[in-house]
Amino acid sequence: MKTNFSLLFYLKKQKNYESGDVPVYLRITINSKRAEIATGRQCDPKRWNAKSGRMSGSKEDARSVNAYFANLQQKLFDAHSELVRSGEIVTAESLKSKFLGRIEKSRMLLGIIKEHNQCMEALVGTEYAAGTLKRYQVLERHTVAFLKDRYKASDFDIKKFDIKKIDFAFVADYELYLRTVREMGNNASVKHMKMFRKILNICLNNSWIQIDPFANFKGKYKKVEKVILTQQEIELIAGKEFVSERLSQVRDTFLFCCCTGLAYSDVQKLKTSDVSVGFDGEHWLITQRIKTNENCHIPLLPEAWKIIDQYKNHPFCLLRGNLLPVPSNQKMNEYLKEIAVLCGISKTMTCHVARHTFATVTLQNGVPIETVSKMLGHTNIRTTQIYAKILDIKVSRDMHILKTKLSSGKVIAGSLVVEN
């Protein structure tokens, strides 16, 4: 790769300099990045030629110093040529290290990922959610598997895999591995590569690598229609009698989420203290979202309050102070799929479907998007706009209004009301 390489000898004066000799330094500049080397020589500024970067005059001391500088310069040119021939990435720091005989510390890919995950683990609960850490731990496992699969690397080789070996071809091959061997869908692979890019950005910011391997990489999320339940489906689930108590509890938790818009992680941690009487004399749910740390102030609908009241004396709730007896996320989603089958609902039901349903139903029934965004705990209203979908029922309702106007003989054309 072509690099912009230059050397400059210059005087480095101290801030309080008044008179006398000044140290001479050599500046290495490669692709606008600099490194400095002390030459061990000094010169009086009056005898220094800044344009040539040499000591002025023809006296013996000037010739000796200038010959020494020329020798240093040639050694740096030789060191630069060696780096280029060996195929190493040439930077100002790597050239300086080569010239001084230093062995530059190698940075290993897995070591960087592990260090990142350890830092993230220390911040779980304050800066990050536990789920975010789990995703980066999955990234670490997939990276190990990829290196074994594509490079036939042993465990020792994987630990020693240098970050400098990563280029665009590596990134493209990694994505292909995720889509083929791991059988990831488009959005899952794009999300995974986005996390990997964060790791490489850390390397770029620390100058461990000089070129961004993701510079020409493009990954785009595909639009996915969110699953929501109709009012009829919600009523079907609510009216269904289950023999199993576990299904009844999961059903009630799901319906509670439909009434409040809470995600699983938020409803699972709810305490009785999170419910209070608001300024309007009504019951409010006041909590903080785990994912965004945003406060949620949600007026409780009668259906939600009924569910809370139903479980206030439940042994699990009394023992732990929880608002509802919520099982693990895995069990919750497993039981919801069972409920869907028993109710004859063909949609894939998960706990998050309740949140989608709440957002869509509130928006389609005239609740302002700003209000819905606040109840959902979104940090950006654009996230809420994803839920502002116009379904067939809304289209039918709006077209019915138009039919009524047409049948009455009044339609609006531009800014005029035209009567037949």
- The CATH number linked to 312 is 1.10.443.10
Residues 333 and 383 occupy one common structural domain: yes
Cβ neighbourhood burial of 174 (10 Å; 0-12, 13-18, 19+): buried
The pLDDT of residue 20 is above 60: yes
Mean pLDDT computed over 281-308: 87
User: 215-220 contacts: CB < 8 A, separation 24 or more?
Assistant: 215/168, 216/168, 217/168, 217/171, 217/172, 217/175, 217/193, 219/175, 219/189, 219/190, 219/193, 219/194, 220/190
Q: How confident is the model at residue 191 (pLDDT cuts 50, 70, 90)?
A: very high
Determine the structural domain holding residue 15 and report its residue range.
Answer: 5-100
- Number of structural domains (the chain) is 3
Work out the average pLDDT over 296-316: 91
Same domain? For 83 and 113 the reply is: no
Residues 199 and 117 in one domain: yes
User: Where do runs of H (alpha helix) occur along 8-85?
Assistant: 60-85
Using alpha carbons, select from 118, 112, 115 the residue that is nearest to residue 133: 118
pLDDT band at 36 (very low <50, low <70, confident <90, very high): very high
Q: Is residue 32 part of a domain?
A: yes
Please give the pLDDT value at position 414: 52
CB 188 within 8 A of CB 221: no
pTM comes to: 0.61
Residue 78 lies in a domain: yes
Residues 236 and 383 in one domain: yes
| Residue 365 sits in the same domain as residue 238 | yes
Q: Considering the domain boundaries, does residue 403 fall inside one?
A: no
Assess whether 240 and 378 both reside in one domain: yes
Kindly state the percentage of the chain with pLDDT values over 70: 93
Closest CA relative to residue 39, chosen from 19, 4, 78, 9:
9
pLDDT at 254 over 70: yes
If asked whether residues 201 and 326 sit together in one domain, one would say no
- The answer to whether the Cα torsion of 128, 131, 137, 142 is positive or negative is negative
pLDDT, residue 388, reads: 66
Distance CA 259, CA 254 (A): 9
Is 115 in the same domain as 96? no
Q: How far apart are CA 123 and CA 163, in angstroms?
A: 25
Which amino acid is located at 297 in the chain?
H
Boundary (domain end) residue, out of 68, 100, 132: 100
User: 415 in a domain, yes or no?
Assistant: no
Is residue 21 pLDDT above 50, yes or no?
A: yes
Write the DSSP string, 315-378: HHHHHH-BSS----HHHHHHHHHHHHHHHT--S---HHHHHHHHHHHHHHTT--HHHHHHHHT-
Confidence label for 309 from pLDDT (cuts 50, 70 and 90): very high
Q: Which of 121-125, 213-217, 268-272, 365-369 bottoms out in mean pLDDT, i.e. has the lowest?
A: 365-369
- Both 372 and 264 in a single domain? yes
Q: Which residue has the higher pLDDT, 405 or 340?
A: 340
Average pLDDT, the chain: 86
For residue 292, pLDDT over 80 is answered with: no
User: Could you tell me if residue 163 is inside a domain?
Assistant: yes
Residue (of 330, 337, 361, 326) closest to 237 by Cα position: 337
Is the pLDDT reported for residue 1 higher than 70?
no
pLDDT recorded at residue 104: 62
Same domain, 368 and 238: yes
Same domain, 40 and 95: yes
Q: How confident is the model at residue 2 (pLDDT cuts 50, 70, 90)?
A: low
Question: Cα–Cα distance between 272 and 317 in angstroms, integer?
Answer: 9
The predicted structure's pLDDT at residue 61: 87
Residues 343-352, mean pLDDT to the nearest whole number: 92
Predicted confidence at residue 410, as pLDDT, reads 63
Residues 87 and 116 in one domain: no
Answer with the one of 100, 128, 152 that is the final residue of a domain. 100
With contact defined as beta carbons under 8 Å apart, do 69 and 53 qualify?
A: yes
Q: Are 28 and 36 in contact (CB under 8 A)?
A: yes
Model confidence at 287: pLDDT above 60: yes
Segment holding 23, helix H or strand E: strand 22-30
Residue 212, domain member (yes or no): no
DSSP string, 224-257: -PPP---HHHHHHHHH---SSHHHHHHHHHHHHH
Could you read off the pLDDT of 99-123 as tens digits, one per residue? 887 766 678 899 999 999 999 999 9
Q: Kindly state whether residue 406 falls inside one of the protein's structural domains.
A: no
Q: Which residue has the higher pLDDT, 270 or 103?
A: 270
Q: pLDDT band at residue 416, thresholds of 50, 70 and 90? A: very low
- Tokens found for residue 59: 């006296």
Q: Which residue has the tokens 């009012």?
A: 231
Residue-level pLDDT at 48: 92
Q: Give the lowest-confidence range in 132-136, 264-268, 416-420.
A: 416-420
